[in-house]
Structure formats: structure tokens, C-alpha cells
Chains A and B, each alone.
Chain A
Amino acid sequence: MRIFAVRHTRGILLALLALAGAATAHAARVSDFGTVEWSEQITRFFSLRDPSVRYAVVGAVLIGICCGVLGGFVVVRRMALVGDTLSHAVLPGVALGFLWTTSKDPLAIFVGATVAGLLGTATVRAITATTRLKEDAALGLVLASFFAAGACLVTMIQRLPTGNKSGIDKFLFGQAAAVGRDDVVLMSVVAVLVVALVTAFYKELLVASFDRGFARAGGLAVVWVDRGLMLLLAFSVVVALQAVGAVLVSAMLITPAAAAYLLTDRMHRLLWLAAIFGVLAGLLGAFFSFIGNNLPTGPLMVIAASVVFAGAFFFGPRHGVVARWWRQRDHAARTQRENTLKALYRVCEERDFVGEGVTYRALAERRGETAAEAQQQGRALIAHGLATVADRTIFFTPEGRRRAAEIVRNHRLWELYLTNSANIAADHVHEDAERIEHVLGEEAVRELERRLNYAERDPHGRRIPSAAEIHQNAGHSRAPDLGQR
């Protein structure tokens, strides 16, 4: 015991719970498999030769499906804390099921854990119904007290002199390798139940989750939908315990579904994605647990699921951080180009459009920038086909000329609109127009023109380029060839 206690200190996760027995089993496993090569382990895993590997893989897939599908509803119904409480509250039931049969009988444990889990959620309901405490406090209370009772019972069982007590410790952090044939049978039953019931009652689940009041007014027994969902959740948590462990099984409910929530706006797609992510996380967890000499599976599965979530968070095509950052950058660059075009247009306008081309120096002066900055902006215009450059002088391409006139028109129309319609003083409208000019669409501009009676001058007395003018100019005003100059 003393030697084990020394090794115990290495396992930080296990030390947290100070369950001596957990460390005993862990240390024993390391010595069993320590000599096996990694490559050999990987081959063993993928060949599925060992029944234990087969059970672990099938179990991980089934758990991924159950947790993913139900997790979808947990996330959209804002029941994440309920899931967490349920998964912790099952532990005393596991221990009692174990004590009842004095062996690791899956059915006894299943029954005990389900009863404990449902008792936990019933306690939460009783507390919120009879006291002033709100749901979050009640959930936290039940989670902690049930889990504490479970942890004590598990420790007691490990000190019992009799009976086959191996494996009870794995209910904390999970061990896919400990999944047996009977466990897989139980998981299959639950998975079939979950998929069949969610498919059959999808529309009831959907409407009850989205709009409870409407569902009830339409005659749906929402209470039974809730109870059914809670029962399926309890079943799924309980069958997942062996592989994922009580501490982290709620993460398998929440994380894959949360990742899916970031990627889609439709519930059925969310459920599919969540199930796929759940399976992926389950398999990765089982795999790394196996090649890592039976490291606890639960944490590895949850890490895998969290990596998937991080992927969705950063790289999601619509709501992802990278995509959003990219769109912002794109918009900023376009705004910058359009401002350069506008400055070029203003320089031309000031000399009544006599002569073509604007020197870098004139542009830099106009915008109050250095020549180097002006050059950089010129290059951006060239890259987008809006201008050409010769002799340190910028010439509009037809497209550039058109776009420049458009931006100037947007700016001046908006200024005029604000001064005319919103009664804002002429010297207050410039800042606002600076932002609006880049986002006004063609239709909005037409509408503005109409409302302003096709006015020709802005509040500062400058001419507003008309739509007709812009389209004409696009035709014949072009930069001269380099050779001609």
C-alpha cells in the first residue's frame, strides 16, 4: 500500500479525488503494458483482434451517438447544468448496485444508477418547488451531495475484504478497456431506444423545446416529453459511465452538441453533427486510452470533443472566429481602397477633371500621408484592377473610375439625405457618410436619389455624380497606354 501511495502522487487527476484504490489499479496496469511498443499497440487497436478492443470501440460509438443526439436537446433547452447534475448524481447508485450483487453486474449497476440519477433530478425539482432557491443553486447542491455520497461509498467498497471489487474505481474517470460484453449489450439497447424515440417523436421534442407554451396549448403533454427526455438522458449517462466516468460524462453530452450548435442553424442537422462529433470523440478517446497504456478514457474523450469544439469555434464557416476576422479584414481593406479611390476622384475634381492621372505626391498630400503609404495604396488598387500606374502617377481603370464616382455619390447623397430629412447640420454629416458610403447598396442609392428629387449638389455645394454619368464614364474614360505617354 505504501509503494502504491508513492506512485499515487504522480497521478494528479487521481490524487484530486484521493481514492487510494483508483491509484492501485492504475499502477498495476502500467506495469502490465509498459513494455509493449506503441506501433504494436496501434496495430492491435486497428486490427480489432482483442475482444476488449472491439467492445471498447463499439461502446465508444454507441456512447457517442446517445450523448450526441440527446446532448443536442440538452444544449438548445439550456439544460447543461441538469445534465451535469444527473451525471454526478448517479454515482451512489453505482456503488449501491455494486453492493447489492457484490460484483460488477451491469444490470444491477444500471438500475441503481438510473434510480439515483432520477432521484437527484426529483430532488432538484422538490427544492425549487418548495423553497425560494433557484434552479442553479438546487442543481449545485444535489450534484455535490450525491457525488460526495457516491465517493464515500466507492471508497468503502474498495476497503471491503470480500467480493470482486475490481473496476468500481473506473466509474469515476472511465475505462473503455473495462467495457465488457454485457455492457455493450446494454449500450446497444439504450442507443436503439434513443435513436428510435428521438426519430419517432422528433416533432414533439422540437416544438416542446422551442415553445413550451405553444406546444401545451396545442394539446401536447409536454410534461411527458420532459420526463421521457430525462429518462433517456439518465439511461445514456448510466451506460456511458463505464467508459467515460461520472466526473466527465456530462461533457460528452454538452461538448459535441455545442460544437454542432456553432455550425448549423437547423435542429436535425445539429443532431446529426452532434452524433458524428460524439462518435469521433468517443473513438479518439478509446484509441488514445489504449495506446497510452489504458489511460483513463473519459478525460481523453472529452479532450477530443473539446478539440472538435475548438475547431468549430475557430474555423466554423459562418460564426467561426477566423471567418469573422477574415470578413472584417476584407471589409477594412475594401474600405481603404474605396477611400483611396475617393481621394483620387477629389484630386481630379479639384482641377475640373482636366488631365488624367494623379501623382503619388498629390494623393499623399490629399490624404495627409507619406509617399510610401500612397504607393502602398496604389499597389492595392492595381491588385484589384482599379488602377494602373506609370511614372509614379496613378490612372483609373474604367472599373476604378466607376467605383470612385459611386463612392463619392454615395457619400454626398447620404450627406444630403441627413441634412434634408433628418435635420442634421451640414457640418455634422461627414463622419456618418464616411461609414455609410461603403455599405450602401444599389437599391438604397436609387431610393435615396428618388427621395432627394435627383438633386445635383451636396450640402457643401459640390456636384453629386449621377448614376447615368457613372455608367457613361465607365465606357470611355480609360488610362492611356504606357507607350502613348
Chain B
Amino acid sequence: MNSAPQLAPPLEIHDLTVAYHKKPVLWGVDVVVPRGQLVGIVGPNGAGKSTLIKACMGLVPSSSGWVKMFGLPLAQAVRRIGYVPQRESVDWDFPVNVMDVVLMGRYGRLGLLRRPSAADREVARACLDKVGMLPFADRQIANLSGGQQQRVFLARALAQEAELYFMDEPFAGVDAATESAIITVLRELRDRGCTLLVVHHDLPTAREYFDQLLLLNMNVVAFGATKDVFTTDLLQRTYGGRLTILSEVAHAVGATERAEAP
């Protein structure tokens, strides 16, 4: 191992371009994410939010640019990465129970030919407990609500014991209780020094939840501390002429200004 990882940022994206069928989806993305940050990736539908985190993890091929994690190429940093995919990406009728799914978070550490040990099960149980799903450990995953399924995915990511997390819309279609449970866990991770990149679709809560925001619409419109970036001007540039979202933005910004007024 070289000495760079000690000082290197958890994530450095340099001039990343991704194209589907020669049509660019992401274009010249340059981002350096510092350690211990809870970063929200925000932008309109089709802005390439999911594509960005998938490209970072090598799940979609990039046509140019590079990504380094902790100063290392992906293949060498893969054990230090955790991932929460979109809930719709899997078949929830699959014959596994909650415990089986969470244990999958341990597979990367186990390596080939080794089965999860009692210690791995203990870790998995602790992770389930953290998201309030321990009583459901033996439940078949089809018999869970959407919010519970999302918590199971989060528990699996916790079981990865990573330092850099990518989460694809973890708040999509969950109940209020799950939403607050998830954000609590994310903040805990951040306070322990983890770095989290979270794809998020709801602007008003984005302002409240994240330390930093990455405003994305095919390329990076802005990246910085939430209070600096969450402005009408920048959001308008991110969302273009979408009127319904603009009014939502105006409302959210208004709320910020009112809150800061006194």
C-alpha cells in the first residue's frame, strides 16, 4: 500500500463523463468530497443522480475521467465502500429473510469460500437493531412494508462497516417514522467519521438533512455547504424552467429566510 490513503479525500471525481448510447448523461463532473460529510445529491429527474453514484462504484461504464476513493482506484478501495441501492432494483419475492439480506453486507469482508460466522450474525443483529428491525429478523422480505424494506437495506449497508457510503434514494416512498430513523442513523455514521453521498429528491428536507449539497443537472451546478448552495438562483439553474418545482423551491427558500430573519 502507498502512503497516500491517509491524507487522500474519501472521494475524488475527476472529469467524469458517462454516456448511454452515445448520449451523455453526465458530463465533466469534478468533485472532491471531504471526510465526515453528509452530502445530498439533488437535481431534477434524469439529471444523472443515480448514474453518478453508480459510475463511482463502477456499475455503469464511464466514457472518460476517473474516480479515486481514499486516493486509491475503485478495485483497491472496494471493501471500504457501502451501498444502498434503490429499493425497486430487487425482487422482494426472492426466497430470503431479513437476516439473510443483512448478512449479505458481510460477504465482501468474508471473501470467497467462507460462510458468515457467529460474529457476523452478531454484527448483522446489531445493525438490524440500529434501524429498529431486529424483531423482523426471521421475516420473509416480501412481508415487509416499503419503509421496513428500506431499513433492511440500510442495515445491510451498516453491516458492510464501510467508510464511504453511496445511497440511492433511501427516503423514497417511506413513512415518516422510517425517514426520521434513517436520518438518525446517517448522522450517527457521519459523526463517526464516515462520508455519505445520498441521492435525494425532496428539496425542503434536503436543506434540513445535509451538510453539503451537490446540485446536479448533467454536470455539477454547484457543490458546497448547504447554506451557501441552497439559494434560489442556484436551484433555479439546477431545475431549469420546471415551474412546479420552482414554486416548491421558492417556498423552501422562503422558509429558510424567515427562519434566519430574527
* Interface set of A (CB-CB < 8 Å, partner B): 76, 78, 200-201, 203-204, 206-207, 209-211, 213-220, 261, 264-267, 269-270
| Besides the known contacts A78-B91, A204-B112, A207-B104, 10 further A-B residue pairs in the complex with CB atoms under 8 A apart | A203-B104, A210-B104, A217-B59, A218-B78, A219-B75, A265-B142, A266-B95, A267-B95, A269-B95, A270-B95
B107 lies within 8 A of A266 (CB): no
Residue of A with least CB distance to B106: A203
A200 and B112 CA atoms in complex are apart in Å by 8
A76 and B89 CA atoms in complex are apart in Å by 15
Instruction: Out of B110, B140, B142, name the residue touching A203 (CB < 8 Å).
Output: B110
Q: Which residues of the partner chain B approach A215 to less than 8 Å between Cβ atoms?
A: 104, 107
Q: Which residues of the partner chain B approach A201 to less than 8 Å between Cβ atoms?
A: 112-113
Q: Which residues of the partner chain B approach A265 to less than 8 Å between Cβ atoms?
A: 95-97, 140, 142
Q: Does B83 sit within 8 A of A, measured CB to CB?
A: yes
Answer whether A219 and B104 are a contact pair too, CB < 8 Å, given A210-B94, A213-B89. no
- State the main secondary structure of chain B at its contact with A: mixed
A213 lies within 8 A of B97 (CB): no
Distance to closest chain B CB from A271 (angstroms): 10
Instruction: Out of A220, A261, A267, A269, name the residue touching B107 (CB < 8 Å).
Output: A220
Q: Which residues of the partner chain A approach B112 to less than 8 Å between Cβ atoms?
A: 201, 204
Q: Total contacts A to B, CB within 8 angstroms?
A: 81
Q: Restricting to B86-118, which residues have a CB under 8 Å from any CB of A?
A: 89-91, 94-97, 100-101, 104, 107-108, 110, 112-113, 115-116
Distance to closest chain A CB from B170 (angstroms): 13
Q: Which residues of the partner chain B approach A217 to less than 8 Å between Cβ atoms?
A: 57-59, 78, 81, 83, 85, 166
Q: Does B54 sit within 8 A of A, measured CB to CB?
A: yes
Q: Which residues of the partner chain A approach B113 to less than 8 Å between Cβ atoms?
A: 200-201
* Interface set of B (CB-CB < 8 Å, partner A): 54, 57-59, 75, 78-79, 81, 83, 85, 89-91, 94-97, 100-101, 104, 107-108, 110, 112-113, 115-116, 140, 142, 156, 160, 166
A106 and B142 CA atoms in complex are apart in Å by 45
Answer whether A206 and B58 are a contact pair too, CB < 8 Å, given A211-B89, A214-B83, A219-B75. no
A209 and B160 CA atoms in complex are apart in Å by 19
- State the main secondary structure of chain A at its contact with B: helix
B90 lies within 8 A of A261 (CB): no
Residue of A with least CB distance to B89: A213
Distance to closest chain A CB from B256 (angstroms): 34
Closest 6 pairs (CB-CB, A-B): A219-B78, A218-B108, A265-B140, A217-B83, A217-B57, A207-B104
Q: Which of A207, A219, A267 has the most CB of B within 10 A?
A: A219
A218 lies within 8 A of B83 (CB): yes
A264 and B113 CA atoms in complex are apart in Å by 25
A334 and B76 CA atoms in complex are apart in Å by 62
A267 and B78 CA atoms in complex are apart in Å by 27
B107 lies within 8 A of A216 (CB): no
A179 and B78 CA atoms in complex are apart in Å by 49
A214 and B59 CA atoms in complex are apart in Å by 9
A329 and B115 CA atoms in complex are apart in Å by 44
A203 lies within 8 A of B107 (CB): yes
Q: Which residues of the partner chain B approach A200 to less than 8 Å between Cβ atoms?
A: 113
Q: Which residues of the partner chain B approach A204 to less than 8 Å between Cβ atoms?
A: 107, 112
Residue of B with least CB distance to A200: B113
Q: Which residues of the partner chain A approach B83 to less than 8 Å between Cβ atoms?
A: 213-214, 217-218
Q: Which residues of the partner chain B approach A211 to less than 8 Å between Cβ atoms?
A: 85, 89-90, 104
Q: Which residues of the partner chain B approach A264 to less than 8 Å between Cβ atoms?
A: 95
Distance to closest chain A CB from B58 (angstroms): 7
B110 lies within 8 A of A266 (CB): no
Distance to closest chain B CB from A247 (angstroms): 29
Residue of A with least CB distance to B75: A219
A261 and B94 CA atoms in complex are apart in Å by 9
Q: Which residues of the partner chain A approach B100 to less than 8 Å between Cβ atoms?
A: 206, 266-267
Instruction: Out of B58, B96, B104, B110, name the residue touching A214 (CB < 8 Å).
Output: B104
Q: Which of A204, A216, A218 has the most CB of B within 10 A?
A: A218
